[in-house]
């Protein structure tokens, strides 16, 4: 079914590709939508605006124009509810950018009742979407791994590489972390060396045990697989076949 969205056209403008006229009243043809206070409001067969209509908000009512997009590329649909209104979204595969994106196709905040979307992704599109999803999550997993390798915590083996108070090259283990009220990204650190305790700051240190916190291939695969299944319903057991292709 793809995504169907009502669009606006200027008078005399030709129909864009994949666009149809939709008449939401029994007869096909333009008719007058009279203002509530217009004296001609009860004339159901009026086809032209009269001189009296110019004094009110009367207009010629034509068809609705429904354009079909992302045919065969809709991966998932969802609804987001708020206190008073709801918005409707579709997760689609965009061939022009070769990526997944989310579009809003409907809402209760305005007249969008002709709009619709239905999951209809073909096997070829699903294959592209799975591959794109996997590559994206793989990049995120690399970032998470780097974050773990540089995570500040008690017990890590470090070396002082800059600063003035502690000699460069001093090695030790983090035994205390103090909150720096002036710079949250540069905490004060207490190190246990072979002979004594020294104090320095986070930015003066280099981690010597980063390899202990690196992710194995199995851990990275499990993380990607878990995130894939928890984020969207259309991702299924296709991910393992992508990894071993």
Q: What are the E-state strand segments in the chain?
A: 2-7, 19-22, 31-33, 59-61, 64-69, 74-81, 86-94, 99-107, 116-118, 157-160, 171-178, 188-192, 197-201, 205-207
Contact 120, 92 (CB under 8 A): no
What is the span of the domain harbouring residue 195? 157-208
Q: What is the pLDDT of residues 44-68, one digit of tens each?
A: 666 677 787 878 888 777 778 888 9
Whether residues 69 and 110 fall in one domain: yes
Q: What is the pLDDT of residues 165-199, one digit of tens each?
A: 899 999 999 999 998 888 878 889 999 998 899 99
Whether residues 78 and 140 fall in one domain: no
Note whether residue 142 is domain-resident.
Answer: yes
Q: What is the pLDDT of residues 142-173, one digit of tens each?
A: 888 888 888 888 999 999 999 888 999 999 99
Range with the poorest average pLDDT among 30-39, 91-100, 160-169: 30-39
Note whether residue 184 is domain-resident.
Answer: yes
Whether residues 111 and 204 fall in one domain: no
> What average pLDDT does range 91-105 have in this prediction?
90
Structurally, the chain folds into a number of domains equal to 3
Q: What is the pLDDT of residue 26?
A: 54
Whether residues 186 and 76 fall in one domain: no
Whether residues 104 and 202 fall in one domain: no
Contact 68, 105 (CB under 8 A): no
Note whether residue 188 is domain-resident.
Answer: yes
Give the predicted TM-score (pTM) of the model.
Answer: 0.65
Whether residues 174 and 203 fall in one domain: yes
Note whether residue 36 is domain-resident.
Answer: no
Scan for tokens 């579709």, then name that residue: 90
Element (H, E) at 124: helix 123-149
Whether residues 143 and 164 fall in one domain: no
Q: Cα–Cα–Cα angle for 220, 221, 224, nearest 5°? A: 85
Q: What is the pLDDT of residue 242?
A: 41
Other CB atoms within a 10 A radius of the CB of residue 175 amount to 12
Whether residues 68 and 106 fall in one domain: yes
Whether residues 221 and 132 fall in one domain: yes
Whether residues 18 and 70 fall in one domain: yes
Measure the CA–CA gap between 125 and 172, rounded to whole angstroms: 53
Measure the CA–CA gap between 113 and 124, rounded to whole angstroms: 31
């Amino acid at each position: 079914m793809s995504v169907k969205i009502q669009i606006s056209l200027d008078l005399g403008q030709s129909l864009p590709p994949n666009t149809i006229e939709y008449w939401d009243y029994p007869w096909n043809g333009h008719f007058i939508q009279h203002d509530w206070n217009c004296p001609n409001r009860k004339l159901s067969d009026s086809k032209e605006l009269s001189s009296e209509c110019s004094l009110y908000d009367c207009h010629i009512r034509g068809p609705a124009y429904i354009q079909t997009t992302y045919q065969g590329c809709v991966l998932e649909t969802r609804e987001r509810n708020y206190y008073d209104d709801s918005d409707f979204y579709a997760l689609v595969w965009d061939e022009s950018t070769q990526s997944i994106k989310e579009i809003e196709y409907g809402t209760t905040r305005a007249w969008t009742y002709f709009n619709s979307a239905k999951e209809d992704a073909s096997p070829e599109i699903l294959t592209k979407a799975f591959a794109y999803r996997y590559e994206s999550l793989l990049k995120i997993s690399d970032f998470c791994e780097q974050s773990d390798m540089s995570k500040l915590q008690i017990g890590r083996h470090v070396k002082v590489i800059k600063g003035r108070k502690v000699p460069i090259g001093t090695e030790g283990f983090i035994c205390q972390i103090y909150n720096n009220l002036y710079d949250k990204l540069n905490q004060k650190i207490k190190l246990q060396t072979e002979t004594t305790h020294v104090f320095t700051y986070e930015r003066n240190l280099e981690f010597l045990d980063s390899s202990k916190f690196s992710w194995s291939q199995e851990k990275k695969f499990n993380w990607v697989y878990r995130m894939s299944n928890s984020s969207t319903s259309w991702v299924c057991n296709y991910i393992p076949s992508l990894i071993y292709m």
